[in-house]
Amino acid sequence: MSKVSQSAGNSNNGNSNDIYNIFLLVVDILMLIAKFWIAIFEAVVGLFRPAPLEEVNGKVVLITGTGHGMGKEMALQYAKLGATILCWDVNEQTNNQTVKEIQKSGGKAFGYVCNVTKREELLELAQKVRKEHGFIHVVVNNAGIMPCHPLLEHTENEIRLMYDINVISHYWIIQSFLPDMIERNEGSIVALSSCAGLFGLVNLVPYCGTKFAVRGYMAALAEELRQKNPQSNVKLTTIYPYMIDTGLCKNPRYRFPSLFKLISPQVAAGSIIEAQRQGLEEAAIPRHFVAVEKIGRLIPRKAMRLVNDFLDTGVDTDKH
Ligand SMILES: NC(=O)c1ccc[n+]([C@@H]2O[C@H](COP(=O)([O-])OP(=O)(O)OC[C@H]3O[C@@H](n4cnc5c(N)ncnc54)[C@H](O)[C@@H]3O)[C@@H](O)[C@H]2O)c1
Ligand SMILES: *[C@@H]1O[C@H](CO)[C@@H](O)[C@H](O)[C@H]1NC(C)=O
Ligand SMILES: *[C@@H]1O[C@H](CO)[C@@H](O)[C@H](O)[C@H]1NC(C)=O
């Protein structure tokens, strides 16, 4: 269909060519309209009929931050589904514990000590596990930290470390494992953003920066993959959890605890695994938060702030 623009402006070809080009353009527009509405129809149907779950039995799943919290729970649950888990964490002791728990219940897991901020070590380890385990089917960029206080109290080291762990390390990990996925045209990359990647939150200025960054690079990467191969079957899933009871979020505050209660890491991990297996591009925990953000952006800020003040929900500083 791109022929339209090729001969446009070439006046020597005469009238019949112009008419032909207009005809092609009209066909293109009609196709767009038809496909547009089919896509919307499919999305509406999809709301009521969830996508089927991809099989993970026998596949290799790499997760960072498996020593604690959601990373650990994901490792345990993926192992129960029959996957082989590669557990990466900076804390050797807690990571070993996760590996042991999986092995004790009959699952397959391998532990690797790794500080994801160290690029050289990371790349070396990536080569090593590719050699030892072959194709890595699912990569979950989960390790993250969340210092929580006003921007003016954040130190330089804290901010740089947060970006290194929460964002920059993802690039090196993706660069290590994506080429195999593109070659085989299969596999999934999952990234932990946060509701702090959907909304701007008090005491979390740099953290929100890292989580919006995750959302941004994942959206851009999806377009890059699609441009390279419109039939690309490599799945990218960005996860936006609300407050999860892992201890990461030290001082949650809420006016209506029954509306915004902490979610257990077990439930959150199950929800992430489901989103990955369904191949969802975006999934909040709970799911409806993505829609809340979209609707919230349509409402004037001043009005939205009134609602926020009424709900009075957030995280207090971890300093006092
Ligand atoms: N807990 C929440 O409320 C919440 C909400 C939204 C998003 N998230 C995100 O979910 C992810 C997991 O959160 P969690 O609450 O399970 O965290 P957690 O603190 O319970 O566990 C994080 C794990 O990552 C490991 N880790 C930290 N720095 C590392 C490094 N440099 N290299 C390797 N491993 C490292 C830690 O040792 C720990 O085992 C994070 O990215 C977090 O930002 C959490
Ligand atoms: C973790 O496990 C490895 C391999 O089993 C072992 O060599 C190492 O000493 C353990 N480390 C800790 C801190 O338990
Ligand atoms: C990981 O490495 C960074 C430096 O790159 C360091 O500041 C940080 O303390 C290390 N994390 C741990 C838990 O050792």
The pLDDT tens digits for 216-249 are 999 999 999 999 999 999 999 999 999 999 999 8
Mutation test residue for ligand 2: of 96, 97, 114, the one with most atoms within 8 Å of CB: 96
For residue 117, give the ligand 3 atom closest to its CA. Answer: 5
Sheet holding 60-64, edge to edge: 108-113, 84-89, 60-64, 138-141, 188-192, 235-241, 282-285
Q: How far is the CA of 264 from the centre of ligand 2 (A)?
A: 28
Q: Is 206 in the pocket of ligand 1 (CB under 6 A)?
A: no
Length of the chain: 320
Q: Is 93 in the pocket of ligand 2 (CB under 6 A)?
A: yes
- Letter string b/e over residues 251-281, b meaning 16 or more CB atoms within 10 A of that residue's CB: ebebeeeeebeebebbebbebbbbbbbbbbe
d(C-alpha 264, C-alpha 296), whole Å: 26
* Angle at 211 (CA atoms; ends 299, 77), nearest 5 degrees: 110
Q: How far is the CA of 248 from the centre of ligand 1 (A)?
A: 7
Residue 12: band (very low, low, confident or very high) from pLDDT cuts 50, 70, 90:
low
Residue 11: band (very low, low, confident or very high) from pLDDT cuts 50, 70, 90:
low
Q: How far is the CA of 144 from the centre of ligand 1 (A)?
A: 4
- At the top level of CATH, which class does the domain 56-315 belong to? alpha beta
Give catalytic residue positions: 207
d(C-alpha 121, C-alpha 123), whole Å: 6
pTM (2 d.p.): 0.93
Q: Is 113 in the pocket of ligand 3 (CB under 6 A)?
A: no
For residue 118, give the ligand 3 atom closest to its CA. Answer: 5
pLDDT tens, 59-87? 999 999 999 999 999 999 999 999 999 99
